[in-house]
Structure 1
Amino acid sequence: MDKVLTIIIVFSAVFFIYNKVKTWKTPEGLLKRIYQTKANISIGFFLVAISINLLIAPRSTVDVVVGIVFLILGIANVVLGYKAYRHYIPQLDNK
């Protein structure tokens, strides 16, 4: 389980960096927002994977508290990013 979480952490960090760079390079507003929402989803998966890693084998109460906070923030990023992505994609098709 630890190796799977490590792979998810690495891939989500790479996707975050990729989408963030694409956001900076894209001049158009709608595409920029789409890449930003993809970056939010990636950072959300990153936070969720880190929090699960912290909550599986906590060393202290600090790990539990930080894991819960990261889990809440990660789920919020994924859910809100997915909703924004679903909002922007139909607008892209209409252009």
Structure 2
Amino acid sequence: MSVLVFFIVILFAFYLFYKTKYFRTSRPVEKKWLSAKSNIALGLFVFLFGINHLFFISQTTVTLIVSIIFIVYGGIFTWVGFKKYKHYLPYAEEEAAIEKRKRLAQGRQA
């Protein structure tokens, strides 16, 4: 089950990476798109954390309930993040293309 721990650490790193990119960008649609990507990473992190607790922690009723809550919450968070990601992807691509055209136009004028 060390594979689960590996994926949990990787997903948390992705979450931090996308949140950092979110705070560093100035484009509004790209912010929403990056937020959706970080939602997916956080949802998968919580989901796998719940599954991990089912295997490694002593089985008590409280542990089982908390693990199920984590699994359901992580699944919902991932699903909502994926829906947002699909929605904002074309707008983010369009926004990036417009930004690129602006930079090219400024370069030609200089």
Task: Name the residue aligned to 2:55.
Answer: 56
TM-score, normalized by length of structure 1? 0.92
Aligned residue in 2 for 1:37: 36
- Taking every aligned residue pair, what percent have the same amino acid on both sides? 31
Indicate the RMSD between aligned Cα atoms, in angstroms: 1.2
TM-score (norm 2): 0.80
Structure 1 residue 15: Cα displacement:
0.2
Counterpart position of 1:12:
11
- For 2:82, the aligned partner's letter is Y
Number of aligned residue pairs: 94
Offset at 1:62? 1.4
Aligned 8 A contact 1:58 1:64 in 2: no
* Aligned residue type for 1:15: F
Q: CA deviation at 1:58?
A: 4.5
Unaligned 5+ residue runs, structure 1? none
Moved segments of 4+, more than 2 Å: 92-95
Q: Which runs of no fewer than 5 residues in structure 2 stay unpaired?
A: 96-110
